[in-house]
């Protein structure tokens, strides 16, 4: 049996699935290659070095997240700001998106540690989310621009609290927000 020819494009989906389950910051080539049905040797061949693999994965995962987000987020605007936050928190908690959350905090941690690749990825993800929020603020909101930024900050704070097992704090915060 001749070995199946593979390219970056055929390898990325399987590798993405692997890092969504096992993390990306400390991923090592041999398990990653095995998950994609190839060898570390070939990952180096296709991506140059480990950094090239991680870069490609970050880019691929960002696109994957974006399309998943588009599909999950509600199209019609909510009644008010609090409802907007609530809907997004519900939707991003869907099974299709939760694996991305684990990855997200790895990206944030690497950004905080000074990794430029991760920081750029993180900043652009925040830009993406902010753009969506600005376009979907409640009708008649007095300050959609500032409001979207406020909601994004609240959403991310809530998600962090959820990640450390203190979703109760985020829930109470939301209850106290504008009411």
CA–CA separation, 17 vs 32, rounded Å?
Answer: 10
Residue 7 zone, left/alpha/beta (φ > 0; ψ -120 to 50; rest): beta
CA–CA separation, 120 vs 132, rounded Å?
Answer: 18
Q: 129 to 158, contacts with a copy of itself by CB under 8 A?
A: 130, 143, 145-147, 149-150, 152-158
Pull the structure tokens for residue 21: 């389950």
Residue 23 zone, left/alpha/beta (φ > 0; ψ -120 to 50; rest): left
Asked if 96 is part of the footprint of a copy of itself (rule: CB under 8 A), the reply reads no
Q: 1 to 30, contacts with a copy of itself by CB under 8 A?
A: 23, 25-26
Nearest residue (CB) to DNA, 22 versus 124: 22
38 binds, among a copy of itself, DNA, none (CB under 5 to 8 A by kind): DNA
CA–CA separation, 39 vs 86, rounded Å?
Answer: 44
42 binds, among DNA, a copy of itself, none (CB under 5 to 8 A by kind): DNA
Cβ proximity of 81 and 178 under 8 Å: yes
Pull the structure tokens for residue 84: 């907007």
5 binds, among a copy of itself, DNA, none (CB under 5 to 8 A by kind): DNA
Minimum separation from the CB atom of position 47 to a copy of itself (A): 22
Minimum separation from the CB atom of position 111 to DNA (A): 20
Pull the structure tokens for residue 179: 């009411």
Minimum separation from the CB atom of position 33 to a copy of itself (A): 21
C-alpha distances out from residue 21 to 148, 149, 161, 167, Å: 31, 30, 21, 22
17 binds, among DNA, a copy of itself, none (CB under 5 to 8 A by kind): none
Q: Provide the binding-site residues for a copy of itself, judged by CB under 8 A.
A: 23, 25-26, 101-102, 104-109, 111-113, 119, 122-123, 126-127, 130, 143, 145-147, 149-150, 152-158, 160-161, 163-166, 169-170, 172-177
């Amino acid at each position: 049996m001749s070995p199946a020819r593979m390219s970056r494009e055929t390898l990325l989906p399987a590798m993405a699935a692997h890092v969504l389950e096992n993390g990306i910051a400390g991923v090592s080539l041999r398990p990653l290659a095995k998950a994609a049905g190839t060898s570390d040797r070939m990952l180096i061949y296709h991506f140059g070095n480990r950094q090239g693999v991680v870069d490609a994965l970050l880019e691929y995962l960002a696109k994957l997240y974006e399309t998943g987000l588009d599909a999950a987020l509600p199209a019609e605007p909510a009644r008010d700001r609090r409802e907007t936050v609530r809907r997004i928190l519900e939707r991003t908690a869907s099974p299709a998106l939760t694996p991305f959350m684990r990855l997200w905090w790895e990206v944030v941690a690497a950004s905080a540690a000074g990794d430029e690749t991760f920081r750029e990825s993180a900043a652009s993800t925040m830009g993406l989310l902010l753009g969506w929020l600005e376009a979907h603020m409640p009708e008649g909101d007095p300050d959609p621009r500032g409001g979207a930024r406020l909601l994004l900050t609240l959403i991310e704070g809530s998600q962090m609290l959820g990640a450390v097992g203190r979703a109760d704090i985020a829930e109470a915060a939301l209850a106290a927000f504008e009411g």
